[in-house]
Amino acid sequence: MEGPGLPVVLIDHLGGVQGVYEDHTEFLQKHFHLITMEEFLENKEDLAPKIRAVYQWCQKPVVNEELLQSLPNLSIVASAGVGIDHLDLKLISSYSVKVSNTPSVVSTDTADLGIALMLASSRRIVEGHQIAVSPHTQHFPTDWLGTEVSGATLGIVGMGTIGYKVAQRAKAFEMKILYHSRKQRNKEEEGTVGAIYCKKIDDLLQQSDFVLLSVNLTPQTQKLIGRRELELMKPTATLINISRGLVVDQDALVEALQNRVIKAAALDVTYPEPLPRDHPLLRLENVLLTPHIGSATGQTRRRMMEGMVESIRAGLAGLPVPNQVLP
């Protein structure tokens, strides 16, 4: 049960498709008095001054100017995950409210998924499963072939924590690793994974058999991969996106896949999410899609929740906020 005197924290809702996980609730209620958006809207006059923090899970509740204006004693917004493109940091900061996220805890699982998408796409795992279980299958086709990963060239766009973990895993497959990033890693870090820095993204695109996107969504990275970039890639190359859907010009990607400008795409992220059910990406045989599950393991989601609790408690106590995001 929620104890008396606990800090009041606004959440969107408990349970359901995008609500706070029910098995997280007991831990959260040891530290906070939770108020749902429905409760808040029904009794805004009484509850608004009491709310000290927003616990944002699945990017909800939406933190906009209307909400900020209605919460005079708000101190911190804790957002789950690494991406903060859904938050207007300058606006939130103008209300003297801090923001935190959970970047480090998602990196291992997201890197694992990047490798999984590369392997599943190259070895045509989903298609293979469909052949294996089809009631119409009488023989397995011997000319049904995938693409070799070991020894291939992997180009990583964005060598942050996730990108570097992808490189660590790719090294085990004896891949040649190229990377393009805002900042070059030091020589020791490059040497550990055998990564070669490409100052120009064009060089990486032209040489890579697999191009994996692991960048934050910013105005500079929106539609980073468009028609020109796709045409620079090998016709045998696969594009893998584990960052954000808007990093890729989706219309250009559809065209490139339809016309075999590139061989395939493996995407954990799209725009919007989910795609409209008539979107052409859903009908292309050379596309593998997953529903934005980079951090979706029980262990990681638990660590995300615990990290958000730590950030909120620190923010309310006037202590340095772990993983604070500055505008």
- Please tell me which residue in 169, 180, 244, 313 is annotated as part of the active site: 244
Q: Where are the alpha helices (DSSP H) in the chain?
A: 22-31, 37-42, 44-47, 65-70, 89-94, 103-122, 125-133, 161-171, 187-193, 201-207, 227-232, 250-258, 298-316
Active site (annotated) includes residue 273: yes
- Whether 154 contacts 212, CB under 8 Å: yes
Distance CA(3)–CA(186), nearest Å, equals 49
| Residues 6+ positions from 51 with CB-CB distance below 8 Å | 8, 9, 10, 35, 40, 71, 73, 74
Q: Which residue in the list 148, 273, 283, 285 is annotated as catalytic?
A: 273
Catalytic-residue membership of 86: no
Phi/psi of residue 138, each to 5°? -110, -30
- Distance CA(226)–CA(250), nearest Å, equals 8
Q: 3-state DSSP call for residue 225? A: strand
Q: At 80, is the secondary structure helix, strand, or coil? A: coil
Residue type, 219: P
> Rounded to whole angstroms, how far apart are CA atoms 16 and 297?
17
Spatial distance between the Cα atoms of 319 and 53, rounded to a whole number of angstroms: 15
Question: Is 228 designated active site?
Answer: no
Residue pair 98/321 in contact (Cβ under 8 Å)? The answer is yes
Tokens 């615990």 found at:
306
- Hey, which residues are catalytic here? 244, 273, 292
